[in-house]
Amino acid sequence: MNLEELRDYCIAKKGVEETFPFDNETLVFKVMGKMFLLTGIESQPLQFNVKCDPEKAIELREMYSNVLPGYHMSKQHWNTVICEGSVNKKLIKQWIDDSYELIVNSLTKKLKAELDRL
C-alpha cells in the first residue's frame, strides 16, 4: 500500500476529514473530529499509526514483525504499521477499519447522530 491508496481508503469513509494539525509532514485522518490514523507523508516505506484494542494491539505485535507499538502515541492503544510488503492490503485495510470503528463507537450520542445524517 502506498500513501495515495491509504489516503483514498481513509477519505472514502463516512465523516472523515484529513488535516495537518501538527506540522506539514504528518497527515491525520479524523472521523467527527477524532483521530483514527496518522502517517508521515515522507516515510519510506509507508508507515502509519492506528488505534487498536489494547489486547489485540499486543497480539498483532506478537504475530507481525511490521506491527510495532505506536510511535509517539499511547503504546497501549496505538500500533504503528509498516507497509513493507509482508502483509496483504486486505489485512492492512482491516486494521484501518478497526481503528475507525473504535473511534466511531466511542463518539457521543450527539456525534453519532451527526455521523448518521451524513
Domain parsing of the chain, residue ranges: 3-117
Residue 48 corresponds to which cell in the numbers above? 502509519
C-alpha–C-alpha distance, residues 81 and 71, integer Å: 10
Residue 71 has pLDDT above 90, yes or no: no
For residue 80, the model assigns a pLDDT of: 97
pTM: 0.95
Please state which CATH class domain 3-117 belongs to: alpha beta
C-alpha–C-alpha distance, residues 6 and 96, integer Å: 9
Q: What percent of the chain has pLDDT over 90?
A: 97
For residue 57, the model assigns a pLDDT of: 96
**Is the bond leading into 45 cis (omega within 30 degrees of zero)?**
yes
Residue 72 has pLDDT above 90, yes or no: no
10-35 pLDDT tens trace:
999 999 999 999 999 999 999 999 99
